[in-house]
Structure 1
Amino acid sequence: MTLYRQLLLTMLLLFALLFVSAYSVQFSSTRSYLAQQQEFMVINTVTALGLALTPYLESDDAVGAESVVNAVFDGGYYRKVELRLLASNKTISRENATPPGRVPAWFADLELFEGGRHQAVLTSGWLQLGQLYVEGHTGHAYFQLWRGMSRLATWFALSFVLVWVLLVLALRHLLKPLHSIEEQAHEIEQHHFGKSIPLPATRELRRVVSAINGMAGKLEAQFEEQAAEAERLRHRAFVDHTSGLGNRSYFMAQSQSWLGDDRCGAVVLVSAGALDRLYREEGFEARDQMIRVIGKNLRQLCRDHGEHVLARISATEYAMLLDETEPAGLRQLGETINRQIAELVKDPDDDRDMPRVGIALVQPGDEIGRLLTRADHALNRARMDETGVVVEAHKQRERLGRLEWKQLLEEALEHDDFELSVQAVMDFAGERCHDEVFVSIRKDGIAFGADNFLPVAEQFGLGERLDLHIVTRALRMLENRPELKLAVNLTRQSCHQDGFWRKLAQVLERYEAVRDRLFLELPESAFAFGWERLIAPLASLKAAWGVDHFGRHFDLLVHLGRFRPRYVKLDHGYTSQVLQPDYNDAFLAAVCRAAHGMGALTIATRVETGQQVDRLRSLHIDAYQGYVSPPGRLC
């Protein structure tokens, strides 16, 4: 029970105790007063009636005496008036046996009053004339007591309600700083440090609030230092400092991760020979400025093509890995690159300054060395043939065209023809954290994974529809299987659509009972190309979420600290070489510390052997996922 409720209940109980005590005292005194009043009334009635009856008794006028008795009985509120004539041994009696009226029956049954009774002997000198007995009726006393106590109870009840309301308002105001301290402590527990608490007027609470704010500020600064350290290490290891793009090590690691996922795409090598001439004629500052401008143009072109890897791999060469697979589209991209770079050089008519582009398509079973060799051959042909772009004519993998994939995806959405499988995410204690859902479409007996149709979904605007469909299906599965915890990947296109988040909120509302067992995985590229758009949707999202392929884009760690994901899945490019003797784990350890600082678990991906598991266990990683735990069919 909260302190607010404890204080409120304590004060209300004390007030109720005060009310009961005051009410009991008032009830007892009122009852005693009415009983004494009734007793005095009966005595006075006997005295007055005795005086009025004496003349009639002396003259032995029974009729007159009876008239006096009737007059007194009718004019008062008595239960019984009885006159016994001693001379004639005759009794005159009047009695009202009706129960007390105008009060509840249960109240009258409490027997609070005896009615008051008095008896006297009427005399004339030494002669006894009669015996008079008067007993008061309790009805009037019950009515007076009921009316007085009812009014008092009503006033006390209204006062109680009023005090209750005032206490609620007062306690909320007085305990507001304490509530803010509680919220801040919870935020700190969740590694959220951005908010500071206003200093309250209460002296004791001011010191506590000041200490909490100071601690939160220090923790936030510590997290920012960890994030900055991780970024510095990543820049030192994987960034070309002149262009700001990735270096050759970065490109090799990311390409291995790309190929390991069996993704389609193409490698584009860009040679800018004008950089050497610019260095000889104008110096390194002009050359470096040109390197940065070319890198900026290439970065913009890559963003227009979705998921990509971009790096400067030598003094005059840039490398790009894109998910584009159409030769015509790749040739057009190469011509665009040539045109943009040619516009930057000093003498566009000098063939020595003309850029050259060589492109190689990713083939089944490709290794990065073989793929770069083919792309380099295409680049050399572009130099020798003095053509701007060469797309290597290697036999492409058998695949459907974009329109055929679009039709197949639309049919699968219409008829729910998706096959779902899951792969476990395990911690190092052997406990299952959750299962990641993998989606495929079966055609002609072959199951095509999501990497085949996701580019089509992005291109034709089907990502939002696909994500909502799979999320809804996963939630239905969670309803039927309470032991499951499922993670569903979202497309970048969906993440940047406001309408998607509204529809997703409606879906999660319908499945409120199971949504806490659903995890949504956002690609890191969604943050790299518009993290500002995700602030509001993720702040109001009523489901846990994580970041997939974490580490492919630079300068995101500090931004992700504002969002506080539940977990991050480290890109395979940073964990695939952990078993090599010369592997430097400083950057990976820094990333893990920064992730822990923002309250996120770190998960290694594509772990294939027990040796990798043992090595990752010592690198501050919390869990792992890969073919060491093979995928299983879900439905």
Structure 2
Amino acid sequence: MSLMRQVALLLTSVLLLALAGAVGINLASTRDALQTQLRVKNSDNAQNIALALSQQRGDAQLMNLLLATQADTGFYSRVRFVDSDGAAVFEREAVARTQDAPAWFARLWPIDAAPGVAQVSDGWRALGRVEVVSHVAYAHDELWRGGSRALLLLAGLGAAAIALAAAGVRRIRRPLDDTVAQANALVEGRYLLVDEPAVPELKRVAQAMNGMVERVRRLFESQAAQVEQLRREAHEDRLTALPHRAHFMQRLAALLGDEAQAESGWLLLVRVAELADVNRELGRDATDRALRTLADTLRARPHDGALDGVLAGRLNGADFALALPGPPAAGQDAAGALAAALRSALSAVSERVVVHVGAARWSGPAAAGPLLARADMALARAEGLGPFAAQADAAEPTASASGEQVWHRHLKDALDARRARLAEFVVVDRGGALSHLECPLRLQLMPGGAFESAARWLPLALRSRLLPAIDLLAVRLALTAIGADGRPRAVNLAMASLADGAFTAQLRQLLADAPRGARGLWLEVAEGAALGHFELLRAFAALVRPMGVRFGLEHAGHQLYRAPRLYELGLDYVKLDVALVRGAAGDEAVRRFVSGSAALLRALPVTVCAEGVDDADDAAALWDCGVEAITGPWASTRSTVV
């Protein structure tokens, strides 16, 4: 039994005992008063009757007539006359029933009044004595009425006392509940501060808990800052804070192989002309400032039509790269626009700083090395044209895409006919057992055609505002599959869907209609949502997690620890991006970063997964770093799931 229930039971018991005692004392005192009144009444009545009998001069007939009259007209239970010899000359008894008081009450509270006795004489001659006993029924009725009134009054006072006690208990319970909620939130990795109550004892508890939560929160933020520093040391160029060559190439390879990104895009190379001479003429500080300005321009440059996944990096001292996934129109003039933006930005530093831009487009599956070589050839042509020249790779033909209306019709037809299915890629734990299945959606755009990955139709689906309908279809297919075989499945959702109120309402209904499937469903969004849409993500997590759904981030680790109040997001799992975990077996910096990330996330607590692992040595290193689940080609070979 809870403490509050024990307190409530104790207070109720005390009040009931007090009520019963008060009513009992009231009844006892009232009964004593009534018995005293009856005794006095009996005595007075006996004296009056004796006086009347004495006036009859011993005439037995008249005395009997007088006694009979008194017995018939008076409210007596017994009238008795005993002569001087002790013989009962006259005796009359009558039974009276109570009008209001129940019989059990009369038995429970008996009223005994001593009979009134008076001597009867004729002058100096003693004739006998008269005994009178009044009825007690009316006394029981009065005792019942008085007790009922007292009970009602005391019950009202007791109810008021119980209400006040309940209010007091609630007042005490509220800060206790807040403290319990604070402790539960701490277990879940959320750091809540509670208001300090006015009760001194509870105030000290709240102060101690708030102090502990604040210290733990500062510790978490300190660890997050350390992990972010490890990430920068492992993957970023120190001067520009852009990914260095190795990390950029890993992310580019992941982008080219990620079916959730566009299957086409542009790779742009930027080269600072004669960097060594610029450094010698302007000095190190001015040159560093120019390079940082160039990097800031790459990061801040708007890329109309480009999808999420824009990458910028520093390949070496003078070379920078920018990858723009998206349809051909998104990057057709990207090289020239970037060159113009760099001219404007660098002119504020020095006219001596000159750059050239080369671009190459990829379409369909592509390898990072050949794509980089084609962009480098375009850059070489630009260097021969003068300052801030830009050239696109002429060797890659620009295939004209179907019109947007045609794409929209194909997508709409596929959705209406539900020509869709989920691919399945295993995610395994350390023992090789299935953690869950990653299930990207495939759409059959043309009847009888191939089921296309998201890279094929995602850009046009985004433009056509069909992503919420597509994501709902993916969730529906996943719930059906989970209901059929019971295996957990993960589905990726777009931020455009989460921001759609109709989508969240329909998703909630889907989950409510399939509670068994909901408990096996994993929903994930890209890491960037944690920074750009924190409140929306937190509200979405609060919506789906109570229904048994697990919620997490994919392709994470690049910016995750910059998110404010990450511990309040309500995550169940985080999947570290392949570009951050690849090569862990041979790179100490990568292992330090993964170990720090795993330790930090498990403290929330959050399950830590690694994406795209294709090497057994990397997998072993990641297990040692604290990763709890792995996906990728290597995981497919280790899975024990048939």
Same fold (TM over 0.5): yes
Partner residue of 1:190?
Answer: 188
Partner residue of 2:448?
Answer: 444
SS in 2 for 1:355: strand
Partner residue of 1:524?
Answer: 527
Shift of residue 123, structure 1, vs aligned partner: 5.3
Q: 1:189 to 1:120 in 2, by over 3 A?
A: same
Shift of residue 65, structure 1, vs aligned partner: 4.8
Partner residue of 1:493?
Answer: 496
Shift of residue 428, structure 1, vs aligned partner: 3.1
Shift of residue 243, structure 1, vs aligned partner: 2.7
Q: 1:609 to 1:270 in 2, by over 3 A?
A: closer
* Aligned counterpart in structure 2 of residue 466 of structure 1, from 455, 463, 470: 470
Question: What pairs with 1:363-512 in structure 2 (closer than 5 Å)?
Answer: 363-364=364-365, 366-383=366-383, 388-391=390-393, 393-394=395-396, 403-420=405-422, 425-428=427-430, 434-442=436-444, 443-444=447-448, 446-471=450-475, 486-496=489-499
* Aligned counterpart in structure 1 of residue 325 of structure 2, from 323, 326, 341: 323
Shift of residue 549, structure 1, vs aligned partner: 0.9
Partner residue of 1:157?
Answer: 155
Q: What is the one-letter code of the residue matched to 2:232?
A: H
Provide the TM-score with structure 2 as the length reference: 0.80
Shift of residue 597, structure 1, vs aligned partner: 3.6
SS in 1 for 2:320: strand
User: Is 1:596 paired with 2:613?
Assistant: no
Partner residue of 2:282?
Answer: 282
Distance, in Å, in 2 between the alignment partners of 1:188 and 1:617 is 27
Which moved further from structure 2: 606-615 or 396-405? 396-405
Shift of residue 619, structure 1, vs aligned partner: 0.8
Q: What is the one-letter code of the residue matched to 1:596?
A: R
User: Is 1:247 paired with 2:244?
Assistant: yes
Shift of residue 618, structure 1, vs aligned partner: 1.0
SS in 2 for 1:270: strand
Partner residue of 1:265?
Answer: 264
Q: 1:200 to 1:517 in 2, by over 3 A?
A: farther
Q: What is the one-letter code of the residue matched to 2:332?
A: R
Distance, in Å, in 2 between the alignment partners of 1:199 and 1:96 is 67
SS in 1 for 2:608: strand
* Aligned counterpart in structure 1 of residue 234 of structure 2, from 232, 237, 241: 237
Partner residue of 2:334?
Answer: 333
SS in 1 for 2:584: coil
User: Is 1:6 paired with 2:6?
Assistant: yes
Q: What is the one-letter code of the residue matched to 2:242?
A: L
CA contact (8 A) 1:425 1:433 kept: yes
Shift of residue 116, structure 1, vs aligned partner: 5.0
Shift of residue 206, structure 1, vs aligned partner: 5.5
Which moved further from structure 2: 543-552 or 297-306? 297-306
CA RMSD of the aligned region, Å?
Answer: 4.5
CA contact (8 A) 1:119 1:131 kept: no
Q: 1:583 to 1:534 in 2, by over 3 A?
A: closer
SS in 2 for 1:307: coil
Question: What pairs with 1:72-151 in structure 2 (closer than 5 Å)?
Answer: 73-76=72-75, 78-79=76-77, 93=92, 95-97=94-96, 99-104=97-102, 107=105, 110=107, 112-113=109-110, 118=115, 124=121, 136-151=134-149
Partner residue of 1:299?
Answer: 299
Distance, in Å, in 1 between the alignment partners of 2:503 and 2:80 is 94
Shift of residue 562, structure 1, vs aligned partner: 4.8
* Aligned counterpart in structure 1 of residue 553 of structure 2, from 533, 547, 552: 547
Q: What is the one-letter code of the residue matched to 1:577?
A: G
Structure 1 residue runs without a partner (length 5+): none
Which moved further from structure 2: 522-531 or 115-124? 115-124
Distance, in Å, in 2 between the alignment partners of 1:91 and 1:624 is 112
Which moved further from structure 2: 452-461 or 385-394? 385-394
CA contact (8 A) 1:82 1:92 kept: yes
Which moved further from structure 2: 585-594 or 543-552? 543-552
Q: 1:316 to 1:609 in 2, by over 3 A?
A: closer
Shift of residue 254, structure 1, vs aligned partner: 1.3
CA contact (8 A) 1:374 1:392 kept: no
* Aligned counterpart in structure 2 of residue 169 of structure 1, from 155, 167, 189: 167
Q: What is the one-letter code of the residue matched to 1:356?
A: V
- How many residues were matched structurally? 622
Partner residue of 2:356?
Answer: 355
Distance, in Å, in 1 between the alignment partners of 2:432 and 2:82 is 104
SS in 2 for 1:291: helix
Distance, in Å, in 1 between the alignment partners of 2:423 and 2:42 is 96
Shift of residue 149, structure 1, vs aligned partner: 2.2
Q: What is the one-letter code of the residue matched to 1:217?
A: E
* Aligned counterpart in structure 2 of residue 311 of structure 1, from 310, 313, 317: 313
Distance, in Å, in 2 between the alignment partners of 1:116 and 1:175 is 54
Shift of residue 324, structure 1, vs aligned partner: 0.9
Distance, in Å, in 2 between the alignment partners of 1:312 and 1:554 is 21
Q: 1:344 to 1:100 in 2, by over 3 A?
A: same
Shift of residue 361, structure 1, vs aligned partner: 0.6
CA contact (8 A) 1:275 1:290 kept: no
SS in 2 for 1:411: helix
SS in 1 for 2:361: strand
CA contact (8 A) 2:427 2:438 kept: yes
Shift of residue 593, structure 1, vs aligned partner: 2.2
SS in 1 for 2:605: coil
Distance, in Å, in 1 between the alignment partners of 2:475 and 2:356 is 46
Shift of residue 363, structure 1, vs aligned partner: 3.3
Which moved further from structure 2: 329-338 or 554-563? 554-563
SS in 1 for 2:440: strand
Percent identity of equivalent pairs: 24
Provide the TM-score with structure 1 as the length reference: 0.81
Q: What is the one-letter code of the residue matched to 1:185?
A: A
Distance, in Å, in 1 between the alignment partners of 2:188 and 2:363 is 43
SS in 2 for 1:58: coil
CA contact (8 A) 2:542 2:570 kept: no
